[in-house]
Chains A and B, each alone.
Chain A
Amino acid sequence: MNPALRRGIGLAALASTAATVWLGLWVTPPSVQQGNLVRLVYLHPAIAWDALYVAFGLSAVCSLLYLWRRTRSLFWDRLAAASVEVGVVFNALTLVTGSIWGRPTWGVWWTWDARLTSTALLLVLFLGYLALRRVPAEPEVRARRCAVAALVAFVDVPIVHFSVNWWQTLHQNATVLNADLSPTIHGSMAWTLLLSFVALTLAFVWMVTVRYDIEVMRDQVGEEELEVSLAERWAEAQAAEPVMAGAGLPEGSAPPSPPTSGPAPLDPVLRPGEPAGSGR
Chain B
Amino acid sequence: MAPAVHLRTAVALAGRFPALSGVDLSADPGEVVAVLGPNGAGKTSLLRTCAGLLAVTSGEAVVLGHDLRADRSEVRRHVGLLGHAAPLYDELTAAENVRFAVRAAGLPVARAEPALERLGLVGRLRRTTVGRLSAGQRRRVALAALVARGPALWLLDEPHAGLDAGARRLLAELVTEAAAGGATVLLSSHEPAVVTPLADQVVTMAGGRMAERAAGGRRALRAVGGGEEGGGGEEGGGGEEEVGGVTDVA
Query: Residues of A at under 8 Å CB distance from B?
Result: 136-138, 140, 222, 225-226, 229-230, 233-241, 244-245, 248-260, 262-270, 272-280
Of the stretches B91-99, B164-172, B180-188, the one at the interface is B164-172
Across the interface, A279 reaches (CB within 8 A) one of B125, B237, B246, B248, namely B125
Chain A proximity of B67: nearest CB distance (Å): 14
Chain A residues with Cβ below 8 Å from B163 are 277
Chain B residues with Cβ below 8 Å from A264 are 165
Given A229-B17, A280-B137; A240-B206 close (CB under 8 Å)? yes
B13 touches A236 (CB 8 A): no
Question: Quick one: closest B residue to A269, CB to CB?
Answer: B237
A276 touches B140 (CB 8 A): yes
Q: Give bound CA distance, A270 to B176, whole Å.
A: 12
In the complex, given contacts A256-B196, A256-B249, what are 19 additional A-B residue pairs having Cβ atoms less than 8 angstroms apart?
A226-B13, A236-B40, A241-B206, A251-B213, A255-B243, A257-B196, A259-B248, A263-B168, A263-B193, A265-B249, A266-B169, A266-B249, A267-B169, A268-B235, A277-B120, A277-B165, A277-B167, A278-B166, A280-B137
A138 touches B55 (CB 8 A): yes
Chain B residues with Cβ below 8 Å from A245 are 212
Chain A residues with Cβ below 8 Å from B214 are 248-252, 254, 256-257
B166 touches A259 (CB 8 A): no
Chain A residues with Cβ below 8 Å from B219 are 256
Q: List 18 A-B contacts (CB under 8 A).
A: A229-B18, A233-B21, A234-B209, A248-B214, A249-B202, A251-B214, A253-B215, A254-B214, A255-B244, A255-B245, A256-B196, A257-B192, A259-B248, A259-B249, A262-B194, A265-B250, A272-B118, A277-B164
Chain A proximity of B224: nearest CB distance (Å): 12
Query: Residues of B at under 8 Å CB distance from A?
Result: 11, 13, 15-18, 21-22, 38, 40-41, 55, 118-120, 125, 134, 136-137, 140, 163-170, 172-173, 191-194, 196-198, 202, 204, 206-209, 211-217, 219-220, 234-237, 243-246, 248-250
Chain A residues with Cβ below 8 Å from B41 are 240
A275 touches B250 (CB 8 A): no
Question: Quick one: closest B residue to A136, CB to CB?
Answer: B15
Which of B13, B15, B191 counts the most chain A CB atoms within 10 A?
B13
B250 touches A266 (CB 8 A): yes
B193 touches A234 (CB 8 A): no
Q: Give bound CA distance, A205 to B170, whole Å.
A: 66
Q: Give bound CA distance, A244 to B249, whole Å.
A: 22
Across the interface, A236 reaches (CB within 8 A) one of B191, B207, B248, B250, namely B207
Chain A proximity of B181: nearest CB distance (Å): 14
Chain B proximity of A149: nearest CB distance (Å): 19
Chain A residues with Cβ below 8 Å from B198 are 266
Chain A proximity of B239: nearest CB distance (Å): 9
Across the interface, A254 reaches (CB within 8 A) one of B119, B211, B215, namely B215
Chain B residues with Cβ below 8 Å from A233 are 18, 21, 207-208
Chain A residues with Cβ below 8 Å from B15 are 136-138
Chain B proximity of A254: nearest CB distance (Å): 6
Q: Give bound CA distance, A6 to B236, whole Å.
A: 76
Q: Give bound CA distance, A233 to B12, whole Å.
A: 12
Chain A residues with Cβ below 8 Å from B237 are 268-269
Question: Quick one: closest A residue to B137, CB to CB?
Answer: A280
Chain A residues with Cβ below 8 Å from B18 are 226, 229-230, 233
Q: Give bound CA distance, A235 to B206, whole Å.
A: 10
B211 touches A237 (CB 8 A): yes
Across the interface, B21 reaches (CB within 8 A) one of A237, A249, A251, A259, namely A237
Q: Give bound CA distance, A259 to B165, whole Å.
A: 17
Chain B proximity of A163: nearest CB distance (Å): 37
